[in-house]
Amino acid sequence: MCVVQKKQELARKVAETEERRKAEEQARQQRLADEQRRADNNRRKQMEEAEAMKKEAAIMAKEIEKRQKEYIEKQKLKHRLEMEKLRTPGTPGRCLLVTEPTYMADGFQHLNSDEDEEPEDRPVPNWSTSKVFIFCGELRDSCDNKLMHVMKKVTLNLCISTANR
């Protein structure tokens, strides 16, 4: 009976070893399947994130383009309004940016020192209704050059002092 017991013992050990090997193989297969599933899930998440990033980038690009268009439209409107203001003659409530050409009284006579001709009489601008300028214009016709020079200084000082008030 010893031999039979030994054979049974050996068969039992072989069966246990085979069972253990099968269990280890099954556990290894399970681990591989779990790892594969996790890898697939990670890949899917990355692809979803990439898609979301693409969509977000597209939305941001559209938003940027929209804001650029709005900015350009605002600039065009602003330019159009400025041009309208330039063309509009002194309407109440609007400022007139471009005024009529103005002439200095005896303008630039010192620059043309090589010419000995009398300076032209230029018209008094419409906006200039100051009594000082009218008085200066009358004096120009009746005074000599020295007096005129003194009057220019006085007029300039008067204009500066009234402008500072």
Domain ranges of the chain: 14-90, 131-164
Contacts of 158 (CB under 8 A, 6+ apart): 132
Contact indicator for 143, 151 with CB cutoff of 8 Å? yes
Per-residue model confidence (pLDDT) at position 8: 92
For residue 143, count other CB atoms closer than 10 A to its CB.
14
pLDDT at 128: 62
With a cut of 70, say whether residue 60 has pLDDT above it.
yes
DSSP state of 82: H
Per-residue pLDDT tens digits for 66-94: 999 999 999 999 999 888 877 765 555 55
**Average pLDDT of the segment spanning 87-113:** 55
Q: pLDDT tens, 116-149?
A: 566 567 776 666 655 555 555 555 555 456 666 6
pTM, two decimals, is: 0.37
When comparing pLDDT for 12 and 134, which is higher? Answer: 12
* pLDDT higher at 64 or 136: 64
CA 70 to chain centroid: 11
Give the separation between CA 59 and CA 68, rounded to whole angstroms: 14
